Chains A and B, each alone.
Chain A
């Protein structure tokens, strides 16, 4: 029977939650990575290796790796630093993507490092030098809170040379040549603030790509939900019907290009679920209408937040959806979000949730 593995990044290490294909009973393992703050945990679906981006206050940033589902871990930061002659300095590793032995590491100050040997060593791939906005995005005074630098990736399963990277507070960029050249992909997005450049200045929180249709993308933005039907070349806002325009997390249904999940949050200081009513919202018609999903979630006094890497969907025929909160709960649905169960609690603040099915 298939194993279902949830990978959690938390402020105090990485954890794994394991179940079977039914996804009803879960067993927690961890903490891993010596309790370092872990920003993102992902799995390379081809090699099976799990990677964790971690940044210790004492010992700096590193990428941890396990190839035996958490039994043993190693870490490396060899090459994971800007050159000593550079004006750039790395404060943290923020985000990861991994496929077929290649690991992409997004860091602050904004830059992308890569490993082509499964995380043994790293080298600088790109700082997106020359892109609009790059003249100021190294300055912490110009950065959004969190100082993530590169805050997200989308890979192309068919073409390793093509991927998308998000610069926090600036926007999304696409490369088709492995990071040598880049194109801003933010046309049609909304910004409620003055911008110095036509093509950037957008606060892209979480873009996701449909597995059912590679041209279909969704994104939770600082201001609004948006959809693209042309691989990110243009965007259309689909916020109407949601309780707020703000949120971080987003997930796409693996089999239906029209179905997508978001967790709207209070856009003011609290950035928790509105009115303390925990809810995931789902569209089944590409954003024309939205449905509140709260069966099994706390409907009052649940002032919880979910960060940008904090929600994911699995790829079973009837997909599961999962999210982890800033107050250490993990909620799971094994029926596309129709019902939910709390499967872990009392964890450290959760920064990321990813899922893998292992046959």
Chain B
């Protein structure tokens, strides 16, 4: 199970969505798809058509910048970051 950490800006948008959760998935994209099954609409908040990560959403897998195709294993730590933006 990958150890997935979500941005705090995402949490109030979906009832019951925790900051940190375990996900059984082979890639970052698959992990987001699994979350979307439980919290419909979540994929749209992280991804744009393509699908691609939204421009100010960054993903790190074990501290290395990744994308939707980045592979995960049972011990992966995934940090989804809302990058510094806005004003």
Residue numbers of A with Cβ under 8 A of B are 34, 56-60, 62, 75-78, 81-84, 89
Contact = CB atoms under 8 A, between A and B. Distances in A.
A60 B54 contact: yes
Contacts of A59: 9-10, 13, 45-46, 54, 57, 82
Contacts of B9: 34, 56, 58-59
Given A81-B48, A82-B49, A84-B49, A58 B82 contact: yes
Given A34-B12, A34-B13, A58 B57 contact: yes
B48 A60 contact: yes
Interface string B49-78: 111001011000000000000000000000
Interface of B: 7, 9-10, 12-13, 40-41, 44-46, 48-51, 54, 56-57, 82-83, 85-86
A107 to B, nearest CB: 13
A56 B44 CA distance: 12
B60 to A, nearest CB: 16
Given A57-B85, A58-B56, A58-B85, A89 B49 contact: yes
A59 B40 CA distance: 14
Contact of A77 (B10, B41, B51): B41
15 contacts: A57-B85, A58-B7, A58-B9, A58-B54, A59-B9, A59-B10, A59-B45, A60-B45, A60-B48, A62-B44, A75-B13, A76-B41, A78-B44, A81-B48, A84-B50
Contacts, number: 50
Nearest to B42: A59
B64 to A, nearest CB: 21
A117 B44 CA distance: 19
A4 B8 CA distance: 35
Contacts of B51: 84
Contacts of A89: 48-49
Q: Determine which residue in A58, A75, A82, A83 has the highest number of CB atoms from chain B within 10 A of its CB, and name it.
A: A58
A57 B45 CA distance: 10
Contacts of A84: 49-51
Contact of A75 (B41, B48, B49): B41
Contacts of B40: 78
A57 B86 contact: yes
Q: Determine which residue in B10, B13, B40, B48 has the highest number of CB atoms from chain A within 10 A of its CB, and name it.
A: B13
Q: Determine which residue in B7, B41, B46 has the highest number of CB atoms from chain A within 10 A of its CB, and name it.
A: B41
Nearest to A64: B13
A41 B60 CA distance: 36
Contacts of B56: 57-58
B52 to A, nearest CB: 10
Given A34-B9, A34-B13, A59-B13, 6 more contacts: A56-B9, A59-B10, A62-B44, A81-B49, A82-B49, A83-B49
A60 B9 CA distance: 12
Contacts of B54: 58-60
Contacts of A57: 56, 85-86
A60 B10 CA distance: 12
